[in-house]
Structure formats: structure tokens, C-alpha cells
């Protein structure tokens, strides 16, 4: 005897089973190794996977002090030193993942330490001066008010 089951109920059961399998794989760490560029992208160290691969190709990603290729396999516990701009970051893989995740979940998969941070230097705004020719009307008024103030202070 065949019973008819609503399609929506069947679809929700299938989604539930698939979701639990994915969760179990991540929790049981069924993945033994992942490409470095893919892992760096998935834990949000780089915005795109191609940026992660380019950083590896240019020697900005190191493992044990040695530059690594994007295709090198990463395992749990491996430490990477990533140079982004003028900052140097040490990232330790605490779990492996192949797909990109939300920012709130990232802390389960990596430990991040900032070794060197970019120093922000503020410079004074350069005032455009017209060293050639006569002063403008505004500049002349400022100079005259300054000189008048100096004269008044000198008379007191």
C-alpha cells in the first residue's frame, strides 16, 4: 500500500538530512587537508580566492618561514604567516573547511594573531602658497591684521 506524502514535507525532510550530514562532516573533521588558497578564502583572510592565490604566488603567505604555493595542502594545527599590506598576521588552522562561511563562525576554524601592524602616519595638510607675485586680497588682509595686532602689543 503506497501513501501519498505532501511534496513540501518530503522536501523539508531531505533538506534537514542534507544539512545534518554537512554539519557532522565539519564537526567530525572528515576533511584531512584543504588547499591553502581555498582555506584562506573560506575563513575570510582574503576577500576572494584569486586574491589568496595571488598572495601565495607572490610569496606573501609562508608556512614555517618558507613561501608556499596555493595548491599546498593545509592540515589542522598548521601555522601560516600572511602579509597583507604592511601588516603581518599569524593564522593557525584549528579546523578545516572548504566552503566560505559567515563572519560569526570564523572563530571556530582559525586563531589569528597580529604580529606587525601597519602604522598610520598623519601628515599636516599642505597649504597652497603663491610664493610668486603679489598676495591675494584675502592674504593681504590677514597679513595686515597680524601686523596691526603686533603693533598694538608692542605699544602696550
Per-residue pLDDT tens for 88-115?
999 999 999 989 999 999 999 999 988 8
- Closest by CA to 83, choosing from 107, 51, 105, 110, is 51
| pLDDT confidence tier of residue 31, bands split at 50, 70 and 90 | confident
Could you please state the CATH topology (level 3) that the domain comprising 16-116 is classified under: 3.10.290
C-alpha to C-alpha distances, 123 to 85, 100, 130, 133, nearest whole angstrom = 20, 39, 21, 28
Q: List the domain boundaries for the chain.
A: 16-116
| pLDDT confidence tier of residue 153, bands split at 50, 70 and 90 | confident
Name the pTM for this structure: 0.58
pLDDT in tens, 112-134: 988 877 666 666 565 566 567 88
Amino acid at each position: 500500500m503506497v501513501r501519498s506524502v505532501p511534496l513540501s514535507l518530503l522536501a523539508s525532510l531531505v533538506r534537514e538530512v542534507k544539512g545534518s550530514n554537512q554539519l557532522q562532516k565539519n564537526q567530525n573533521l572528515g576533511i584531512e587537508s584543504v588547499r591553502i588558497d581555498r582555506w584562506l578564502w573560506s575563513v575570510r583572510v582574503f576577500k576572494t580566492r584569486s586574491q589568496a592565490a595571488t598572495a601565495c604566488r607572490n610569496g606573501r603567505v609562508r608556512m614555517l618561514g618558507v613561501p608556499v604555493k596555493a595548491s599546498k595542502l593545509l592540515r589542522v594545527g598548521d601555522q601560516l604567516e600572511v602579509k597583507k599590506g604592511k601588516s603581518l598576521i599569524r593564522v593557525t588552522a584549528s579546523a578545516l573547511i572548504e566552503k566560505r562561511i559567515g563572519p560569526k563562525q570564523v572563530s571556530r576554524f582559525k586563531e589569528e594573531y597580529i604580529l606587525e601592524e601597519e602604522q598610520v602616519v598623519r601628515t599636516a595638510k599642505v597649504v597652497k602658497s603663491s610664493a610668486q607675485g603679489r598676495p591675494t586680497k584675502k592674504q593681504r588682509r590677514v597679513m595686515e591684521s597680524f601686523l596691526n595686532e603686533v603693533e598694538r602689543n608692542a605699544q602696550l
